[in-house]
Amino acid sequence: MKKIVIAIALVAGLTGVVHAAGNVDAGKAKAASCFACHGTDGNSIAPNFPNLAGQSASYLYKQMKDFKAGKRKDPTMDAMIMPVDDQAMQDISAFFATQKIKPGKADAALVDAGTAIYKGGIAEIGVPACMSCHGPTGAGNPGVGFPQLSSQKSTYVENQLKNFRDAAQNNSTVGRHNDVNKMMRNVVKRMSDPEIKAVAQYIQGLNP
């Protein structure tokens, strides 16, 4: 039994899983300041703000902790997260996790290219299939820290992939660095803008 517990702890440490144990009702009240960008039900009306509805509580909690600690940066979130304490982050995460994501729609002209990348990767440049971590429907895998992608805003996805690519290519503080073991940075570092745009559109139209 002791060996099993140690193994689970090691896996959690490697994947960056952070467990949140928030209160949904308390989270709804505490999330009021989030609604202007992310919607009252976690479905954003702005293309550059992510949908939070249905995202795993553990992933949302980790992202807020990373913003709070400066491991992930965004001018709006940096200011918004400053007064939020740890319990509030857990509660807010729990609330948004219970909300239902609204189906998105992809640009039909980019669906075929996006489908090929999401399901098969790009072998010639060493890009693995997105679904190997995020699942065929984009549901993600909360147990190992992989987020839900289905129906996510394409503009937001595109921006985040480019942020990971900037970090990988510049090897500096530029871009986004809070992926565990540089997994996303290694995936996206050789992808072109059109490839990123295509897979982002496919993800937007991928319904859970």
Using one digit for the tens of pLDDT, what is the confidence trace for 44-86? 999 999 999 999 999 999 999 999 999 999 999 999 999 999 9
Query: Over the stretch 118-155, which tens digit does the pLDDT of each residue have?
Result: 999 999 999 999 999 999 999 999 999 999 999 999 99
Please check whether residues 73 and 123 belong to one and the same domain.
Answer: no
Please check whether residues 158 and 185 belong to one and the same domain.
Answer: yes
Instruction: Pick 6 or 103 by higher pLDDT.
Output: 103
Please check whether residues 88 and 115 belong to one and the same domain.
Answer: no
Over 80: is that where the pLDDT of 167 sits? yes
Please check whether residues 139 and 72 belong to one and the same domain.
Answer: no
Please check whether residues 133 and 92 belong to one and the same domain.
Answer: no
Question: Within a domain: residue 164?
Answer: yes
> Radius of gyration over alpha carbons of the chain, in Å?
17
| pLDDT on residue 123 | 97
Domain that holds residue 125: 108-204
DSSP, collapsed to helix, strand or coil, labels residue 166 as helix
Please check whether residues 91 and 113 belong to one and the same domain.
Answer: no
Please check whether residues 199 and 112 belong to one and the same domain.
Answer: yes
| pLDDT on residue 150 | 98
| pLDDT on residue 20 | 61
Question: Within a domain: residue 115?
Answer: yes
Please check whether residues 74 and 14 belong to one and the same domain.
Answer: yes
| pLDDT on residue 15 | 47
Question: Within a domain: residue 103?
Answer: no
